Amino acid sequence: MTYSRYNRGPRQRKCKTDADWIKWFLKVDYKRNHPPRPDLKSLLEEPRVGDVDEEYGLTFSEYGFIPDSEDWTEEDIKQWKEDVRLRVRSPYDCSGEIFTYWINCHKNPNGLWSYVHHKAMDC
């Protein structure tokens, strides 16, 4: 009796060690308890906010891609940083305004520039 090319005997186990089984189980359990978030849009459409820290005042990070930045040079990035930088223009201390702590840009292999804009509250 000959077997077809699709039936080559018993299936091989995906998890060969105990560590593989634990990793697989934790992954399945996490996916069961944490469904995907369909409300998230692409980073090209809308940046995201993360790393919120309130220990020493309010600080947070906004990250995303700069749209249509495939042909930008370092000078264009410097100009973009100056345009999006938030400054406190109040003569008083503790104005409660959000200001730019620092901005980091990175050119990705796909040609787009990504950024991380760290912001803090003046308090």
Domain map (residue ranges) of the chain: 48-121
CA dist 21 and 19 (Å) reads 5
Q: How far is CA 111 from CA 38, 45, 67, 105, in A?
A: 27, 17, 11, 13
Which pLDDT band, with edges at 50, 70 and 90, does 13 fall under? low
> Residue 91, class by beta-carbon neighbours within 10 Å (0-12 exposed, 13-18 middle, 19+ buried)?
exposed
0.75 surpassed by pTM: no
Whether 88 contacts 122, CB under 8 Å: yes
pLDDT digits (tens, 9 = 90+) for 23-80: 989 988 998 898 777 777 888 888 999 878 887 778 999 999 998 999 999 999 999 9
Whether 53 contacts 76, CB under 8 Å: no
- In this structure, the chain runs to a length of 123
pLDDT digits (tens, 9 = 90+) for 76-99: 999 999 999 999 888 887 888 899
